[in-house]
Amino acid sequence: MYQLDITLRRGQSLAARDRGGTSDPYVKFKIGGKEIFRSKIIYKNLNPVWEEKACILVDHLREPLYVKVFDYDFGLQDDFMGSAFLDLTQLELNSILYYRPMDVTLTLKDPHYPDHDLGVILLSVVLTPKEGEHKDVTMLMRKSWKRSSKEFSENEVVGSYFSVKSFFWRFQTQSLRLSDVHRKSHLWRGIVSITLIEGRDLKAMDSNGLSDPYVKFRLGHQKYKSKIMPKTLNPQWREQFDFHLYEERGGIIDITAWDKDAGKRDDFIGRCQVDLSALSREQTHKLELQLEEGEGHLVLLVTLTASATVSISDLSVNSLEDQKEREEILKRYSPLRIFHNLKDVGFLQVKVIRAEGLMAADVTGKSDPFCVVELNNDRLLTHTVYKNLNPDWNKVFTFNIKDIHSVLEVTVYDEDRDRSADFLGKVAIPLLSIQNGEQKAYVLKNKQLTGPTKGVIYLEIDVIFNAVKASLRTLIPKEQKYIEEENRLSKQLLLRNFIRTKRCVMVLVNAAYYVNSCFDWDSPPRSLAAFVLFLFVVWNFELYMIPLVLLLLLTWNYFLIISGKDNRQRDTVVEDMLEDEEEEDDKDDKDSEKKGFINKIYAIQEVCISVQNILDEVASFGERIKNTFNWTVPFLSWLAIVALCMFTVILYFIPLRYIVLVWGINKFTKKLRCPYAIDNNELLDFLSRVPSDIQVVQYQELKPDPSHSPCKRKKNNLG
């Protein structure tokens, strides 16, 4: 294993690919067909200066470093500007003996036009064995070689190189105390919080003199797309999202505005940039940006904050086992610090220990598994364990919790050098269902999280959070994920959402039939009781009784659950539908060319997808209300009880007219008091945290196969 430190210095006399005689160059590094680094984009420059550093781990030196340069074209395919190879075997001896950066000049060529002069790329490269990552080791070696330089000939020095690795191994066994700098790494240096407020006087792109604008943001590999505002030139978005800041000096956010056109390519409205290095930290900046290559302005709020507690470390470096660190974390989320940084709700530590019995993805009957741990938009990876179906990772990941209703996703992939990684299994764990400090074997599920796949993964998870902050954050909009799967038309999905919506509607229909049967006196005792109850309620009705009835319903279901009379039945209908959908997806993938179903209805695809999504939203809304009263998530049900108690007391003691007056004043003055406040509905934001029936099935923990138990395996081996 080697560590390759590369500094991408600059380019000289690069090829012009744009009409203006310039280019927007960026550089990719590849080893073994896999992209390992991508630089930032330097706009309108044929002699760009990057000064970017990349640290890469290399298994062997047989594969050369492939350097490719492209011209960035937003929304189009990027233009090729040339490529070059760097032979890593030429670097090995120089780097190990002297630990000095080696300046390299690479001449760019196009394989199709080898005679064309495409410029050069200048790099600074250092290659060191991974075992010798400590400077004192290298210094010791360098001194010993310097002392003996008069005694050894050059050939002898080259020959002595082959004993270097054994020297490193001996030194490593003696050096047991490593600093946290080497064993614990923080992944990003800060967070960029962006609020897209509005657009002003945008360019009209449609025949009716209006547009359907939306905005795309890009910072490095991170992307965000706003919602579409139909038929307006002065859209009001009021959307907030965060980017991770990896560079100390900042970076450049690329912003483009587009007009949505159904059934054809979207129209370009304009572009602008935000240079983060020019903005001060811990301060909110209001920016009015003029759109270039178009018309109009965009209004943003941008805030740069310090780094969150997100890190990867070895199993021996455990924040919660260090008593001092644990006390600091507990103090940070104590009830006394309710109003200190409301966005920082809690702390999550995930130990990814090992996996067993994974699926064999390679032809050799083995896999090269690595693990991806995701919490909302925070995404961290383990190293790859090659040719192993029972990998040991022993890594500790830490995250800041912004929303206690988030779901931790752990996915195992098989690394392939020449193509995208193969999926091996996945688990989704709601944070509120985690039992602290318990090492558990989670059965891996398929991509749809509907059934088991081969293998289990061993995790130990700890969650520390402030309940009051978590409750307050429940009433504001959820964080949107940057990486979302594109909506696609599916017969089975459309049918599933229709059935779910029908089930919700049928609850209301059955309730109406029941009330009507009371009016028809189908059962005289029941109708008599209903009539007496109706007279009593109407005569004594007060507004506070509405939340009181809901409160009694929640309490009744709670006592049913704790008494063992749980009325929550496992939703086998939903599970069957999900399994059918998975089978249908597989069948569609195999028979898509024969059936051509999507091609036949392509003209109405967007309409069908909209209907499909509307059915999903309606069904999810009804299911979330049901699951609130069914105590599917106890934290949210308790929160509903507290809220209903407050509403009951308020409505009992305060006349309705005063409540309506306060509500109206708040609504009318909200924009005057806080012009850039993000619109939200507390009730809908609360319900968005309650899982639908589909999510309940997806988050359901599967029971592990007893054969995966270590004790069971030992008995089998003895037998």
One domain for residues 630 and 508: yes
DSSP class per residue in 313-342: EETT--TTTSHHHHHHHHHHTSGGGTTS-T
Establish if 507 belongs to a structural domain.
Answer: yes
pTM of this structure:
0.52
One domain for residues 524 and 614: yes
CB 436 within 8 A of CB 457: no
pLDDT score for 488:
60
pLDDT score for 265:
79
CB 273 within 8 A of CB 254: yes
Query: Residue 410 pLDDT > 90, yes or no?
Result: yes
pLDDT score for 155:
40
More confident position, 478 or 297: 297
Establish if 627 belongs to a structural domain.
Answer: yes
Establish if 114 belongs to a structural domain.
Answer: yes
pLDDT score for 255:
92
Examine the fold and report which residue of 116, 131, 146 is the final residue of a domain before the chain moves on.
131
Give the number of C-alpha atoms closer than 13 A to the C-alpha of residue 183, restricted to the C-beta side: 14
What are the CA-CA distances from residue 707 to residues 427, 456, 712 (Å)?
A: 19, 11, 6
Task: Please state at what angle helix 605-629 crosses helix 491-519, rounded to 10 degrees.
Answer: 50
User: Is residue 76 very low, low, confident or very high in pLDDT (cuts 50, 70, 90)?
Assistant: low
pLDDT score for 706:
64
pLDDT score for 100:
63
How far is Cα 287 from Cα 316, in angstroms, rounded to an integer?
45
DSSP class per residue in 595-641: H-HHHHTGGGHHHHHHHHHHHHHHHHHHHHHHHHHTTSSHHHHHHHH
Residue with the two structure tokens 């022993």: 394
SS3 state at 415 = coil
Residue 663 CB neighbour total at 10 angstroms = 10
One domain for residues 388 and 465: yes
One domain for residues 465 and 339: yes
Lookup: tokens for 708: 């995966």
User: Is residue 184 very low, low, confident or very high in pLDDT (cuts 50, 70, 90)?
Assistant: very low
One domain for residues 463 and 330: yes
pLDDT score for 448:
82
What are the CA-CA distances from residue 128 to residues 53, 118, 133 (Å)?
A: 15, 31, 7
One domain for residues 404 and 463: yes
More confident position, 201 or 145: 201
One domain for residues 93 and 21: yes
Chain-wide mean pLDDT for the chain?
76
What are the CA-CA distances from residue 546 to residues 188, 516, 557, 645, 650 (Å)?
A: 49, 22, 17, 11, 12
User: Is residue 595 very low, low, confident or very high in pLDDT (cuts 50, 70, 90)?
Assistant: very low
Tens digits of per-residue pLDDT, 242-262?
787 776 556 788 899 999 887
Question: Looking at the 3D structure of the chain, how many domains does it have?
Answer: 4
What single-letter DSSP state applies at residue 448?
Answer: T
Determine which helix (DSSP H) or strand (DSSP E) holds 587, and give its type and residue range: helix 572-595
Tens digits of per-residue pLDDT, 416-452?
765 667 889 999 999 988 888 888 899 999 888 888 8
**Dihedral sign from CA coordinates of 651, 654, 657, 662:** negative
Which amino acid appears at position 423 of this protein?
A: F
Q: Residue 590 region, left (φ>0) first, then alpha (ψ -120 to 50), else beta?
A: alpha
User: Is residue 610 very low, low, confident or very high in pLDDT (cuts 50, 70, 90)?
Assistant: low
Establish if 147 belongs to a structural domain.
Answer: no
Query: Residue 185 pLDDT > 50, yes or no?
Result: no
SS (H, E, C) 662-676: HHHHHHHHHHHHCCC
Establish if 528 belongs to a structural domain.
Answer: yes
Query: Residue 225 pLDDT > 60, yes or no?
Result: yes
pLDDT score for 175:
32
Establish if 480 belongs to a structural domain.
Answer: no
One domain for residues 287 and 317: no
SS (H, E, C) 5-60: EEEEEEEECCCCCCCCCCCCEEEEEEECCEEEEECCCCCCCCCCEEEEEEEEEECC
pLDDT score for 180:
34
Q: Which of 67-76, 545-554, 621-630, 703-712 has the lowest mean pLDDT?
A: 703-712
Tens digits of per-residue pLDDT, 463-481?
999 988 888 888 887 777 6
Tens digits of per-residue pLDDT, 507-545?
887 887 887 777 777 788 888 888 888 778 777 777 778
More confident position, 90 or 70: 70
Q: Which residues pair with 166 in a beta bridge?
A: none
SS3 state at 464 = strand
Establish if 166 belongs to a structural domain.
Answer: no
Give the domain CATH number at 232: 2.60.40.150
User: Is residue 145 very low, low, confident or very high in pLDDT (cuts 50, 70, 90)?
Assistant: very low
User: Is residue 189 very low, low, confident or very high in pLDDT (cuts 50, 70, 90)?
Assistant: low
More confident position, 217 or 575: 217
Tens digits of per-residue pLDDT, 390-405?
999 888 888 888 889 8
Average pLDDT over residues 203-225: 86
Identify each DSSP E strand in 320-435 by its residue range. 346-356, 369-375, 378-381, 392-401, 407-414, 422-430
**Percent of the chain scored above 90 by pLDDT?**
11
Examine the fold and report which residue of 92, 114, 131 is the final residue of a domain before the chain moves on.
131
pLDDT score for 566:
63
One domain for residues 272 and 339: no
User: Is residue 666 very low, low, confident or very high in pLDDT (cuts 50, 70, 90)?
Assistant: confident
User: Is residue 592 very low, low, confident or very high in pLDDT (cuts 50, 70, 90)?
Assistant: very low
Average pLDDT over residues 686-714: 74
Q: Which of 270-284, 425-439, 476-490 has the lowest mean pLDDT?
A: 476-490
One domain for residues 365 and 461: yes
What are the CA-CA distances from residue 444 to residues 378, 429, 539, 566, 689 (Å)?
A: 21, 12, 58, 28, 24
pLDDT score for 137:
38
Examine the fold and report which residue of 474, 508, 529 is the final residue of a domain before the chain moves on.
474
Which pairing describes strands 79-86 and 65-71: parallel, antiparallel, or unpaired? antiparallel
SS3 state at 359 = coil
One domain for residues 549 and 653: yes
One domain for residues 505 and 611: yes
SS3 state at 447 = coil
What single-letter DSSP state applies at residue 231?
Answer: S
Query: Residue 115 pLDDT > 90, yes or no?
Result: no
Lookup: tokens for 430: 């709601």
CB 383 within 8 A of CB 415: no
Tens digits of per-residue pLDDT, 334-391?
888 887 777 788 889 999 999 999 988 887 888 888 888 888 877 777 888 888 899 9
CB 423 within 8 A of CB 415: no
- 708 phi and psi angles, rounded to 5 deg: -80, -10
Lookup: tokens for 258: 């587009």
Domain that holds residue 339: 313-474
User: Is residue 163 very low, low, confident or very high in pLDDT (cuts 50, 70, 90)?
Assistant: very low
Q: Which of 320-329, 526-535, 551-560, 660-669 has the lowest mean pLDDT?
A: 660-669
pLDDT score for 603:
44
First to last CA, the chain: 39
Q: What is the dihedral of CA 180, 183, 187, 189, to 10 degrees?
A: 20
Query: Residue 213 pLDDT > 90, yes or no?
Result: yes
Lookup: tokens for 610: 């909209």
Query: Residue 138 pLDDT > 70, yes or no?
Result: no
Establish if 608 belongs to a structural domain.
Answer: yes
